[in-house]
Chain A
Amino acid sequence: MGYFLGLIVVLGALWLGLSGMFKPLLLTLSVISILISILLAARLNTVDREGVPYARTPNLFLYWGWLVIEIFKANWPVIRACVSADLDINPALVKVKTRCESDLAKTIFANSITLTPGTVTVEVEGDKLLVHALFEESATPDAFTEMDERSWRAADGRQAGKTTQVKA
C-alpha cells in the first residue's frame, strides 16, 4: 500500500507543478485524473518495488549528481572528435561484467553507460553487458568498475540479503 501512497504523492506534485492553479474545478479534475492513472497502473501490474522506486530517492539523487559530473567530463573527447579536422576515432565492442543483481540496478547501470557520451550499451545478457565505445582506450573494464559499484549501492545496497529471483 505504501507504493500506492508514493505514486499518489508524486502524481499530485506533478499536477500541481505543471498547472500551478488552485481553483476547485481544476483540483477536482486533478483528483479524477490521478485516480484514473493509478487504476491503469494497478491494472498493468507495475505498482511494485521497480515501478515506484521512491523509497530510495536520496540514494538515487546522490548517484544522479555524481553521474552528471561524470557525463560532463565524458562529453569533452566526443566533442573534440566531432569538430577536429581529420576523423580520428577508434570504435570497439567490449564486454563488461557487472555485480548488480536486481533488474533495477542493472537498468540503472546500463542506462548510465548509455547516457555517458562515448559508450552505448548494445545488449544485456545475464550479468554481462555488451558495450560499444567510441574510443577503445577509454573503455577498459576498469573504467566501469566505479560506476558499477555506485549504481549497485544506489539501487540495492541495503537489501543485498533478499535479492529477488525474478529474471527476464
Chain B
Amino acid sequence: MSEILNVIMTIKPILGALLCLIGAGLAVIGTVGVLRFPDFYTRLHAASVTDTGAATIAIVGMALLAPSWLIVFKLAAIWLFLFLTGPTGSHALANAAHTAGLQPVIGRQRDRAGESDSEEAS
C-alpha cells in the first residue's frame, strides 16, 4: 500500500509540471489565434481559449505542485475569479463593439496566404 503511495508522491510533481507546461502551450496557441484571425469578434473566440482551457489546466497543475491546502484554496479562488469575470469582460467587450457599430465579418473565410503555405508544403 505504501508503495502505491510512494509512486503517487513521485509522479505528482512531474504531472503537475507537465500540466503547467500544457497550459502555457495553450496560452501561446490562443495568442497565435488572436494574432491571426481577421476580425475583432473572431479574435474574441481565440482569447477565450486562454481564459478557460489554459487557465484551468495550468491551475490544476499548480495545485498538484502545491505544498499545503492553503495554496490549493488560493488557486481555487483564482480559478473561480477567472471563470466569473472572464465571460463578463468578453460580453462587455462584444456588446460595446456591437453598440458602437463594428460590423462582424460573416461567411466562410479562407486565407490566401494558406494556399501558398500548402504549395510550399507539397
A residues adjacent to B (C-beta < 8 A): 14, 17-18, 20, 68, 71-72, 75, 78-79, 81-83, 85-93, 110-112, 114-123, 130, 132, 134
Contact = CB atoms under 8 A, between A and B. Distances in A.
Contacts of B58: none
Interface SS of B by simple majority: helix
B45 A121 contact: no
A17 B45 contact: no
Contacts, number: 131
Contacts of A119: 45
B107 A91 contact: yes
A126 B57 CA distance: 36
Interface string B92-122: 0011001000001111111101110110010
A81 to B, nearest CB: 7
A111 B88 contact: yes
A72 B115 CA distance: 30
Contacts of B114: 85-88
Contacts of A115: 48, 51-52, 83, 86-87
Contact of A132 (B32, B73, B94): B94
Nearest to A119: B45
A86 B111 CA distance: 6
A85 B53 contact: no
Given A72-B53, A114-B91, A91 B106 contact: yes
Contact of A18 (B36, B45, B77): B77
A108 to B, nearest CB: 10
A83 B104 contact: no
B107 A90 contact: yes
B29 interface: yes
B45 A117 contact: yes
B48 A114 contact: yes
Given A17-B70, A71-B52, A89-B109, A78 B41 contact: no
A93 B106 contact: yes
A11 B101 CA distance: 41
Contacts of A112: 87
A64 to B, nearest CB: 9
Contacts of B95: 122-123
B49 interface: yes
A78 B109 contact: no
Nearest to B34: A82
B44 A90 contact: no
A114 B90 contact: yes
Contact of B39 (A72, A83, A90, A91): A91
Contacts of A72: 53, 56
